[in-house]
Amino acid sequence: MGTEHKCQWCGKEFEPTCHKSRQKFCSAECRIKYHNAKRYYGGKVDVCPECGAPVEQSGERGRWRRFCSDRCRQEYHRKQRQEKQHEQGRGKQVCPNCGVEFELDWNCKTRRFCSDECRKEWWKEYRKANPSGEPGMHKCAFCGKEFTSERWHGGEYCSRECYLQAMAQTREDRVCGWCGEGFSTFVKSEQKYCSRECAAAARHDPGHKRGMRRIRYTNAEDWKEQLHEASKKSPPPRRGKRVWLVCGETSMYTGLDGLLGIIRYQLNHSPYDGNLYVFRDLSGTMIKYLEWDGAGFCLSKRRAQSGSYPWPPAEAGKVLEITEKEFEYLKSRSIVPCKEKKPR
């Protein structure tokens, strides 16, 4: 029979698995409990410090229970806080009105008076000793007339009419940065638009960020002239864009959201990269091409009058890159004519 060892956690005697073993615990559960207690509390803790009841440990790694219940834990920490406050002692304050020394509350450190009566009496005497001019008399900020106010601090204007006239002088007329309509606002205000609708439209319109404005017109000639001026501020069109042919067949019933999903999740491309994506149907007589122009998506459909568009013989889900010149040739001149049916 081998030498018996004593478990350092539970004290139970056990026989090690090997005669040269340095085994200190009878099981892995005792070993985990021992190291958890040593890590958090520096030793073995199996009794609740609040009620003295035994505490059963779960034996899971990294988990340790010091209290038998949540109620004991809360009560223990509450008593610890109270003991710490009593050791520090409550602060003392001298009332500036009656001169009586009183103790502050545990949770109040800014109290100046011993009671509300002392506070009211002190402030009453202070206002009498330090009056701000004649009590209740004020001067109107618009007309200069003296008036009496029931409030202690008073107001700036003697009447509603003076207030409205003063506000009218502090306003100015401006032009809406989106629709061009005039509106009135305060001089110190940073308002640029006449309404929330115009502000939201300008915020979501990328062309407005480049200095473009909404085109307003009363007749066709004005509309054409404003369009010409606005086009000068727009950035030049993008050159040398890439054209991707999506191999396989795509249903022409697929809408814009469906095509965006194909580009993003099947092709792993970004639909906002400004490139042109071309799709063809099963029969080969129709194609769809999608493009992001910086402000929105442009979706176009083209159908061959007679014939079909040639398409690369590759697996579905793959893409083939071609140039813009090749794409223009593919749309117009590369249509394969249909075979004429022989009359019966």
116-132 tens-digit pLDDT: 899 889 888 887 887 65
Same domain, 276 and 196: no
Asked, for residue 78, whether it belongs to a domain, the answer is no
Residue 220 predicted with pLDDT over 80: no
Residue 152 predicted with pLDDT over 70: no
In this predicted structure, what is the pLDDT of residue 45? 60
Asked, for residue 297, whether it belongs to a domain, the answer is yes
| Domain-ending residue, one of 191, 213, 235 | 235
What is the domain extent for residue 151?
Answer: 139-169
pLDDT tens string 183-201: 888 887 888 888 887 787 7
Same domain, 160 and 192: no
Between 232 and 143, name the one with better pLDDT.
Answer: 143
pLDDT tens string 161-171: 888 888 778 88
Same domain, 12 and 63: yes
Residue 233 predicted with pLDDT over 70: no
Asked, for residue 317, whether it belongs to a domain, the answer is yes
- For the segment 332-341, the average pLDDT, to the nearest whole number, is 56
Same domain, 324 and 252: yes
Number of structural domains, the chain?
4
As given in the structure block, the two tokens for residue 222 are 């004005």
Same domain, 326 and 248: yes
Asked, for residue 45, whether it belongs to a domain, the answer is yes
Asked, for residue 100, whether it belongs to a domain, the answer is no
pTM for the full model?
A: 0.34
- For the segment 36-57, the average pLDDT, to the nearest whole number, is 69
- For the segment 58-67, the average pLDDT, to the nearest whole number, is 62
pLDDT class for 207, splitting at 50, 70, 90?
very low
Asked, for residue 252, whether it belongs to a domain, the answer is yes
Same domain, 150 and 212: no
Residue 212 predicted with pLDDT over 50: no
Same domain, 205 and 158: no
In this predicted structure, what is the pLDDT of residue 239? 54
Same domain, 253 and 324: yes
In this predicted structure, what is the pLDDT of residue 288? 92
Between 250 and 30, name the one with better pLDDT.
Answer: 250
As given in the structure block, the two tokens for residue 116 are 């509300």
Same domain, 161 and 182: no
Same domain, 327 and 253: yes
Residue 135 predicted with pLDDT over 60: no
Residue 208 predicted with pLDDT over 50: no
Asked, for residue 31, whether it belongs to a domain, the answer is yes
pLDDT class for 113, splitting at 50, 70, 90?
confident
| Domain-ending residue, one of 52, 70, 88 | 70
> How many C-beta neighbours within 10 Å does residue 21 have?
12
Same domain, 274 and 231: no
Asked, for residue 122, whether it belongs to a domain, the answer is no
Residue 142 predicted with pLDDT over 60: yes
| Domain-ending residue, one of 70, 95, 127 | 70
Residue 88 predicted with pLDDT over 80: no
